[in-house]
Amino acid sequence: MRSRLLITGATAGIGLAMARRRAAGADLLLTGRQEHAAVRDRLPPGAAYVAADQSSPEAAAGAVRGALDRLGWDRLDLAVLNAGAGHALDPATESAQSIRVTLDVNLAAAIALAQTLLPFLENASGKLVLVGSTAHRGAPGFASYAASKAGLDGLARALREEWRGRVAVQIVHPGPTATGMHEKAGHDPGPIGRMFARPETTAARIEAAIASGRSPVTIPFARYAAADSLTTWMKR
């Protein structure tokens, strides 16, 4: 039986790289905030897709539930909750609305999705993987984002204990990766951005972390960023 996977935030960056890695060997349900027509061309052929804007956490979980029902899936082998966003703003002046959206997209939606997905994952003795960030330990200019990822770390630690023997839960904290997230956040990393890992490298590291079964896993930035920089330099 082919395994069945859900990857959220799979229209770009790390999530898209993970979807492309998995496409040949599994049935995929992917999510993003845009409508299917806007993203169809970049998704792996044959992957199912549902628009699920996580700034409305319960609605997003409901959309995913509806998609699972339409597909006739009653089990999920792996759910990777990867969708995320942030805003580079001064924590002294960031608006309540901006703080709420970051916490909703990155944290409240993960809680709502975890609740919704539990019976599907249980049916497969499956695995729930949360994509955090090394920023959970604090990141200048990204206070709300850091707080949301610290919350996600706490959620993973709690669910790993709560659901032990039912569903395996892991959190993986990637380091800086060269995706569109920084531009969307209004953040210019400057020259150090050239050191960021490629999304394919981070996706491969997340896969290795999933296979290890360990949690939490922090992906060491320096080691793989240096390897990526060398590859880019050699291709010049």
Ligand X SMILES: NC(=O)c1ccc[n+]([C@@H]2O[C@H](COP(=O)([O-])OP(=O)(O)OC[C@H]3O[C@@H](n4cnc5c(N)ncnc54)[C@H](OP(=O)(O)O)[C@@H]3O)[C@@H](O)[C@H]2O)c1
Q: Is 180 in the site for ligand X (CB under 6 A)?
A: yes
Q: Is 11 in the site for ligand X (CB under 6 A)?
A: yes
Q: In the structure encoding, which two tokens stand for residue 1, read together?
A: 């039986």
Q: Is 169 helix (H, G, I), strand (E, B) or coil?
A: strand
Q: Which residue has tokens 């993003």?
A: 32
Among 47, 118, 131, 168, binds ligand X (CB under 6 A): 131
Q: Is 181 in the site for ligand X (CB under 6 A)?
A: yes
Q: Is 54 in the site for ligand X (CB under 6 A)?
A: yes
Long-range (24+ apart) CB contacts under 8 A made by 1-4 are 2/26, 2/27, 3/27, 3/77, 3/78, 4/29, 4/73, 4/75, 4/76, 4/77, 4/78, 4/124
- Of 5-13, 18-26, 89-97, 209-217, which part binds ligand X (CB under 6 A)? 5-13
Distance (Å, whole) CA 152 – CA 211? 20
Binding mask 23-42 for ligand X (x = CB under 6 A): ---------xxx--------
**CA distance readout (Å), 67 to 51, 64, 72, 95, 128:** 10, 5, 9, 34, 18
Binding mask 183-212 for ligand X (x = CB under 6 A): -x--------------x-------------
| 28 phi/psi in degrees, rounded to 5 | -115, 135
Following DSSP, what letter does each residue of 9-25 receive, concatenated?
A: S-SSHHHHHHHHHHTTT
Q: Is 13 in the site for ligand X (CB under 6 A)?
A: yes
Q: Is 154 in the site for ligand X (CB under 6 A)?
A: no
Binding mask 74-113 for ligand X (x = CB under 6 A): --------xxxx-------------------x--------
Q: Is 57 in the site for ligand X (CB under 6 A)?
A: no
Q: Rule CB under 6 A: which residues touch ligand X?
A: 9-15, 32-34, 52-55, 82-85, 105, 131, 133, 174, 176-177, 179-181, 184, 199
Q: Which residues are catalytic?
A: 145
